[in-house]
Amino acid sequence: MNAANLSLASSLVSSAYIQQGQQALAARSKLVTSLLSQRRMPVHGWDDATIEMLLQDIASMDSNNFLDNVGVGEREARVACSLVAKRHYRLAHGMGRSGDVAAEQPKAAGSSLLVKLTNILTKHALLMAGMLEVEAVTVLPVATGMAVTLTLLAMKAARPKTAHYVLWPRIDQQTCLKAVVSAGLEPIVIQNLLLGDQLSTDMEAIVAQVEKLGAANIVCVVSTTSCFAPRGADKVVEIAKLCSNAGIGHIINNAYGVQSAALCKLITSASRKGRVDAVVQSTDKNFMVPVGGAVIAAGPNSSLVEAVNKNYPGRASLSPLLDLLMTLLHWGQQGWERVLHDREELFTYAKQQLDQVAAELGEKVLNTPANPISLAVTLTRLHPARENCVEQVGAKHVSFFGSMLFKRSVSGTRVVARGITKQVAGIDFEGFGAHCNAYPHDYLTVAAAVGTSQEEILTFVAKLRQCYSDLQRHHS
* pLDDT tens, residue by residue, 69-114: 999 898 899 999 999 999 999 999 999 998 899 999 999 999 999 9
d(CA 246, CA 221): 11
d(CA 146, CA 140): 10
* pLDDT tens, residue by residue, 33-49: 999 999 999 999 999 99
pLDDT value at 388 more than 80: no
* pLDDT tens, residue by residue, 47-61: 999 999 999 999 999
Question: What are the backbone angles phi and psi of residue 374, rounded to the nearest 5°?
Answer: -100, 140
Evaluate whether 230 touches 376 at the Cβ level (below 8 Å).
yes
pTM of the model: 0.94
pLDDT value of position 386: 46
d(CA 289, CA 331): 12
Q: How far from 43 is each of 39, 46, 121, 131, 334, CA to CA, in Å? A: 12, 9, 12, 19, 6
Q: Smallest Cα–Cα separation from 55: which of 82, 88, 33, 31? A: 88
- CB-based contacts of 145, cutoff 8 Å, min separation 6: 175, 176, 178, 179
Least confident piece of the model among 13-27, 215-229, 361-375, 390-404:
390-404
d(CA 111, CA 318): 8
The Cβ-side half-sphere exposure at 316, using a 13 Å CA radius, reads 28
State percent of the chain over pLDDT 70: 97
d(CA 443, CA 437): 15
d(CA 60, CA 397): 59
